[in-house]
Structure 1
């Protein structure tokens, strides 16, 4: 390859919870380790990713088309994942056209069907796990490790490289949203941020009204991200926005989550516990009221509350129902109670741990350097 930069190829799956860590990983590989990165994407997701990586010239894109999958709506993710094998042939053609220029091929967990295409060309393949290490253990290793060893996972040799947190960098957020101007006018540590993720997982209308009434009854300030195809006011109790207008805002368009979580006015986060949102909360030192909706979110919520002490869980009724009284109690406890003080202190500790991991000489940066050294050796 002479003096050309070493190159890696990546294939993320659909959804911002997968795109964001992949793009951040690509940026680290380019900026800190001198790699050129090729991100292979279905046409339907190309525009979403391009804008996230526009500041790094050594990241480029190539389309990979599978007409049957490309035509499916983003809401039909199970079918898209199940039919991932339709990309195997087109992917092999793309990777084959690069000859021996790829040092590694990095895929999402849901793209495991594509390993065969890369292996046929003798490219080493790695899976970038976009959820927590605890969920990764549950998926792959728990039974084996439990039966064969008493060692701590962190002390074992293996193919697992903890390089997180991989979250969107603040400099990737352009412009200032009006909701941030609203936060600027609020006292420090006074606002509860409420959001159920970039996929905007909706609660039922009845549950949404209970959440609204609980926020109102708590008496605390709130910034609630509530998007919808139609007028979201119909989901709220009559008069809710008028009654809470002096201390709360229901935001119905895109909101910059990292600037919100890093804002001095933000004190807590009612979250669906998607792993991206969880890492963004941890990195910014914001404690959580966990409200999982689907996928691995319930595992994340359990871990946050019971293992690392970052959350205050509402009292769940049948089918994960939360009444307005339980919402009010959880919000008040986090914002003004003794448990809230403890989880806020714990959040500050975890924020410092994340900062150290990502700093020069930190654990994440050192481990990533080990991986890239292997890839550069192959490139040379």
Structure 2
């Protein structure tokens, strides 16, 4: 009798895609997998995204919970931060989640694996006596920082924002400028969003164990810190299982989809000659920044493939979801830019098959927003990265990528909210033309080999997953006694 693992992801591609990859690992070990989906608010534009991922993964069962009235994520009837609304929405789905879990015979139910943002589901698991584990789609380094924040807040009377760029010392990671923490954590500690953020990471570390989307050699210091009692004084550290890198393959856009035009364009470019600029599903810029970026790419003389999304105000959390319209490239980019760069540059609207692009022989560099999935995809493709973080934990990731991991270079100016054309030109040329760029490429290539070895039989991630399965089985035997 095959046992069933229930996976419970948060909203958004950055949470659903890596959990779908985790599902494939369970399937390869002989388990049935059901992904339980909370219907996303229409404002997030993610309904068809789930359908595409489900269509591309027929071996995974997808169960969409019966819908309930969703909070207004557009800001029309509430001033609540979308992050708080998302947590509230998941909390309201606990009853429907419980009903679904009860429909699975207890002897068949192996475990419940929840996204970090779905921690309220631990109440359901406790009620039903189901072993619950946390899945962290980001890495061990940001997790190490976030788990140490409660102690930092307890030692201070005020928030962290006034510290500016003052470096904070955390176990297991390089010194972290206070300004690089997530925006929600820079509010006053009594702010509702700040308190909710801290609570999530505290509760997420209180499950039976934590599965992290990383491989041990990429973040060895941070992994050791998470296992160190000093990381969270006075609390027992849960087992940490590094089971990554869990990286998709663009199949979520549909297995029968036609080959994207940009791949044919790349076919005609010399090997390792193209810089790829892509900033995630919610990464957007102002009109002025897009024009400045275009000037820099033009002046660099380098080949480029650039994904441009509709501008939106990334500084306003109530408007970050309003960027799903098709951009008008002629209106957004400098006059004559598309014509001048025709042949050596290609601009595509809204989306490109990122994994395929990164693994194409013509791609030589990746300008990224430093989202964790994108960083791992860059590592797995062996492509050096230029770091332009935008929101969430991406500024923290930039620190890890450029220091401990050695897989990226910083594009200066992101902290001011405006990167100048000269900086774009200089860094693109540096990574593609210079000795420093070649050294960066060599470091990323070495990381790629480490990542591939981690997944092989006997590799660190393969062994960690087997240990996780053994721990769950031992837990079941203990309960049966």
- TM, length-normalised to structure 2: 0.72
Q: Deviations over 1:269-318 (max 9, x none)?
A: 01001001000001110111100110000001111112222112122276
Alpha-carbon separation, structure 2, partners of 1:280 and 1:317: 22
Question: Are 1:36 and 2:39 matched, yes or no?
Answer: no
Question: Are 1:210 and 2:292 matched, yes or no?
Answer: yes
Alpha-carbon separation, structure 2, partners of 1:151 and 1:42: 31
Q: Deviations over 1:331-375 (max 9, x none)?
A: 111111122111111011011111111122211111111112333
Corresponding residue of 1:185: 268
The answer on whether the counterparts of 1:268 and 1:289 sit within 8 Å (CA) in structure 2 is yes
**In the alignment, which of 239, 247, 263 is matched to residue 360 of structure 2?**
263
The answer on whether the counterparts of 2:71 and 2:85 sit within 8 Å (CA) in structure 1 is no
Corresponding residue of 1:119: 126
Q: Does 132-141 or 184-193 show the bigger shift?
A: 132-141
Q: Deviations over 1:200-240 (max 9, x none)?
A: x1111111111111111111000001133241331111111
Question: Are 1:85 and 2:91 matched, yes or no?
Answer: yes
Report the secondary structure of 2:120's partner residue.
helix
The answer on whether the counterparts of 1:69 and 1:80 sit within 8 Å (CA) in structure 2 is no
Corresponding residue of 1:97: 103
Corresponding residue of 1:64: 65
Q: Does 283-292 or 77-86 show the bigger shift?
A: 77-86
TM-fit CA distance, 1:5: 0.3
Q: Please, which runs of 5 or more residues in structure 1 have no aligned partner?
A: none
The number of equivalent residue pairs is 373
The answer on whether the counterparts of 1:38 and 1:59 sit within 8 Å (CA) in structure 2 is yes
Q: Which has the higher contact order (CA 8 A, sep 6+)?
A: 1
The answer on whether the counterparts of 1:64 and 1:91 sit within 8 Å (CA) in structure 2 is yes
Q: Please, which runs of 5 or more residues in structure 2 have no aligned partner?
A: 41-45, 76-80, 153-169, 173-221, 229-236, 311-324
Alpha-carbon separation, structure 1, partners of 2:437 and 2:266: 21
Q: Deviations over 1:176-214 (max 9, x none)?
A: 111000000000010000001123x11111111111111
Q: Does 311-320 or 32-41 show the bigger shift?
A: 311-320
1:119 to 1:170, Cα distance in 2 relative to 1, 3 A = same
Corresponding residue of 2:7: 10
1:65 to 1:170, Cα distance in 2 relative to 1, 3 A = closer
TM-fit CA distance, 1:79: 1.8
TM-fit CA distance, 1:141: 4.2
The answer on whether the counterparts of 1:211 and 1:323 sit within 8 Å (CA) in structure 2 is yes
The answer on whether the counterparts of 2:365 and 2:432 sit within 8 Å (CA) in structure 1 is yes
**In the alignment, which of 17, 22, 33 is matched to residue 19 of structure 2?**
22
TM-fit CA distance, 1:155: 6.8
Query: Which residues of 2 match residues 195-234 of structure 1 at below 5 A?
Result: 195-199=278-282, 201-228=283-310, 229=325, 230-234=327-331
Moved over 6 A (4+): 170-173
Report the secondary structure of 1:194's partner residue.
strand
Alpha-carbon separation, structure 1, partners of 2:457 and 2:74: 42
Report the secondary structure of 2:145's partner residue.
helix
Query: Which residues of 2 match residues 243-282 of structure 1 at below 5 A?
Result: 243-282=340-379
Alpha-carbon separation, structure 2, partners of 1:125 and 1:318: 38
Question: Are 1:166 and 2:246 matched, yes or no?
Answer: yes
1:289 to 1:355, Cα distance in 2 relative to 1, 3 A = same
Corresponding residue of 1:332: 429
1:179 to 1:70, Cα distance in 2 relative to 1, 3 A = farther
Q: Does 115-124 or 99-108 show the bigger shift?
A: 99-108
TM-fit CA distance, 1:69: 2.3
Report the secondary structure of 2:110's partner residue.
strand
